[in-house]
Amino acid sequence: MSRKVVVTGLGALTPCGNDIDSYWDSLKNGRSGLGMITKFDTTDFSVKIAAELKDYDPLDHFEKKESRRLDKFTQYAIVASNLAIKDADIDFSTLDRDRIGVIIGSGVGGIESHEAQHKVLMEKGPGKVSPFYIILMIPDIAPGHVSMIHGLRGPNYSVTSACATGSHAIGEAAKTIERGDADVMICGGTEAAVTPMSVAGFGNMKALSTRNEDPVGASRPFDLERDGFVLGEGAGIVVLEAEEIAQKRGARIYAELAGVGFTADAHHVTAPAPDGEGAVRAMRIALNDAGLNADEIEYVNAHGTSTPFNDKTETISMKTAFGDHVKDLSISSTKSMTGHLLGAAGGVEMIAALKALYHDTVPPTINYENEDPECDLNYTPNVAVEKKISTVMSNTFGFGGHNACLIAVEYRQ
């Protein structure tokens, strides 16, 4: 018989706050983390806005020499993991470290280091490329470092599935515990992609908002005047445990992670499948895995990227998956406040869903001002709503047709 998986720790670095309390406070109060790009000169760029971390100094967390050998995406993963571990109040020395693992994904890995070292190669030649270049860049180095810091010798790897990365990592970790291959898993996503190459690339494919004159209002999921997503950075990490392990050590339990659904569109490199067919299947698989009917879900943290086609298609997919119940659903896109964290999106958004469940509060979709006839559901416009919540769903859908759906329910012994 499979084991029940529970959530005991949350850790986040986001454009809306560098810890769980400040992140959640920003979400429930509708405060945006978006602004003008400060990391590089945007003079020649059509996109000049992003959702950067604020007040983040590597030297607050790492020695100077160490920080130079860690790309920002790895730094964010380590910091958020440490926050989640502290939040879980877990002492690894009392547990079997061979049965504690780490799955942390990234959409693009160490792109900042890649760009910097490519410049060195072009300007100074191959002999000047850093010997640390590869281990700065590869996505799997983030979970590798977390495991080394804490001596965790269980399953350890990275997941890369674009915007669905963080959700895939959490879902894989849950299944690892469920089938008995680990007792505790540190999991989620991390990203540090506010770089010239990323902004130019996403901008030239017309995926990004160009509302440069109004960065706070640029991410507007489901709004009629949405014009693209806003690139964000950070990390979202959760601690998952087998129920009996958490109970034995008297852990505070946020929720049970009850359902996981993964599918592929097998359709197009960027566009979702017609009518969101792949997303519908992911939601239905997660519902079946959780043993729930569609009408038992009370809140959906939507993918809600603020792109014209995605938001319309996601609306269609929710109508199909939930049927008549869709009119009773509370839905929101916290990307309206955080921007789109790519590989970290699934992590920070699952945390938002878990906090919504734990505090019985639906965070809003801010900047929702103009109703789109094709996006006509209850997206919790602009102001949080307090209501009893016992079941939540978090959806992430990535370039390449990757769909991941996670369901958490109120914990009951």
Q: How far apart are CA 333 and CA 250, in angstroms?
A: 33
CB distance 354 to 23 below 8 Å: no
Contacts of 111 (CB under 8 A, 6+ apart): 73, 137, 192, 193, 195, 197, 198
Identify whether 340 is a catalytic site residue. Answer: yes
Considering 16, 145, 150, 163, which one is annotated as catalytic? 163
Question: How far is CA 388 from each of CA 298, 360, 412, rounded to the nearest angstrom?
Answer: 9, 5, 15
Q: Phi and psi (nearest 5°) for 57? A: -125, 115
The pairing of beta strand 234-242 with beta strand 255-264: unpaired
Going along 52-134, which residue ranges are E strands?
Answer: 100-105
CA angle at 172 for the pair 91 and 231, rounded to the nearest 5°: 95
Considering 340, 375, 402, 405, which one is annotated as catalytic? 340
Identify whether 145 is a catalytic site residue. Answer: no
CB distance 220 to 368 below 8 Å: yes
Q: Which residues pair with 330 in a beta bridge?
A: 299
* C-alpha of 83 from chain center: 16
Considering 145, 150, 303, 402, which one is annotated as catalytic? 303
Assign 83 to helix, strand or coil. helix
CB distance 46 to 293 below 8 Å: no
Query: Which H or E run includes 129?
Result: none
Length of the chain in terms of residues written: 413
**Closest to 188 (Cα-Cα) out of 80, 338, 98:** 80
Query: Which H or E run includes 5?
Result: strand 5-13
Identify whether 303 is a catalytic site residue. Answer: yes
Q: Phi and psi (nearest 5°) for 314? A: -65, -35
| DSSP structure class, residue 304 | -
Q: How far apart are CA 396 and CA 164, in angstroms?
A: 5
Catalytically annotated residues: 163, 303, 340
